[in-house]
Amino acid sequence: MRLDKFICKSTELSRSEARRLICSGAITVNAEVVLAEAFQVHENNDVMLDGQTLIARNSRYLMLHKPTGTVCSNINEVYPSIFNLVDIDYADNLHVVGRLDVDTTGLVLMTDDGRWSFDIIRPDRRCEKVYRVGLRDPISNHAAMGFGTGIQLQGEDQLTLPAKLQVLSQRQVLLTITEGKFHQVKRMFAAIGNRVESLHREKIGDVSLDLELGQWRYLTVDEVASFKNKTCFGG
């Protein structure tokens, strides 16, 4: 964990206040003054502020049902931040695990545990994400078969990893992918000459969305642990 983030997680200080303290030389790690805000702190490190040992609060793990017209950012932009929907202390210390576009709905994971989130999004783990996709045009059997071998995206040198496509109706499918390329789902269907009209994420790993639009809840212990179990990942 970054040193500035560790300070925020163990005090009432904001990120900017933590950075000022670090620059002032008030923070030591294992009895050595550290002036770099990005310095990595580990579980066995002794972090002190003016001679007082800092102990980080327990990490938090949430799911949220994202509405359209919101952004997966910690601050309001052109559209409001999804963090406005989460009424807990230190919400600004959380971050999103896998962003969704402003016009996309569905499951969003949030945490202040950077190692946990990195293990979910790192490419070699191939965490499965399931999307319900509404299409402009009916999908043909030939086009549907292509997802199993990979799709050539515009501007990419290699095919996407094999994906699973379940046809629910002529214009609605469930797509399971194990990558997180920029606008990947929309680009995959654009590559076969179709257009995504609606997009909703239903599942990440073994965790399925079970909330009404705009609601949030803490993940259960088993849900948090499931992302450390390789059986919930494709490949």
| 146 closest CA partner among 132, 166, 168, 163 | 163
- Domain count for the chain, please give it: 3
Domain co-membership, 107 together with 162: no
Beta carbons of 78 and 110 less than 8 angstroms apart: no
pLDDT given at position 169? 95
Domain assignment present for residue 234? The answer is no
Domain co-membership, 153 together with 183: yes
pLDDT given at position 5? 87
pLDDT given at position 234? 45
Amino acid occupying residue 225:
A
pLDDT given at position 60? 95
**CATH label of the domain that carries residue 33:** 3.10.290.10
Q: In sequence order, which residues have a C-beta less than 8 Å from that of residue 116 and are 6 or more positions away?
A: 59, 61, 97, 224, 227
Q: Find the DSSP H helices in 51-122.
A: 114-121
Domain assignment present for residue 235? The answer is no
Q: What is the pLDDT of residues 167-217, one digit of tens each?
A: 999 999 999 999 988 899 999 999 999 999 999 999 999 999 999 999 999
Domain co-membership, 223 together with 109: yes
pLDDT given at position 233? 46
Domain co-membership, 216 together with 105: yes
Averaged over 82-88, what is the pLDDT?
A: 94
Q: What is the pLDDT of residues 11-66, one digit of tens each?
A: 988 888 999 999 999 999 999 999 999 999 988 899 999 889 999 888 999 999 99
pLDDT at 99 over 50: yes
Domain co-membership, 107 together with 170: no
Domain co-membership, 214 together with 110: yes
Query: To the nearest 5 percent, what fractions of the chain are helix, strand and coil?
Result: 25, 30, 45
**CATH label of the domain that carries residue 219:** 3.30.70.580
Q: What is the pLDDT of residues 189-198, one digit of tens each?
A: 999 999 999 9
Range of the domain at 90: 61-123+210-229
Q: Annotated active-site positions, please?
A: 101
Domain co-membership, 92 together with 140: no
Beta carbons of 165 and 186 less than 8 angstroms apart: no
Instruction: Tell me how far apart the alpha carbons of residues 92 and 134 are, in angstroms, rounded to a whole number.
Output: 33
| 35 closest CA partner among 45, 47, 46, 22 | 22
Instruction: Tell me how far apart the alpha carbons of residues 7 and 232 are, in angstroms, rounded to a whole number.
Output: 33
Domain co-membership, 41 together with 7: yes
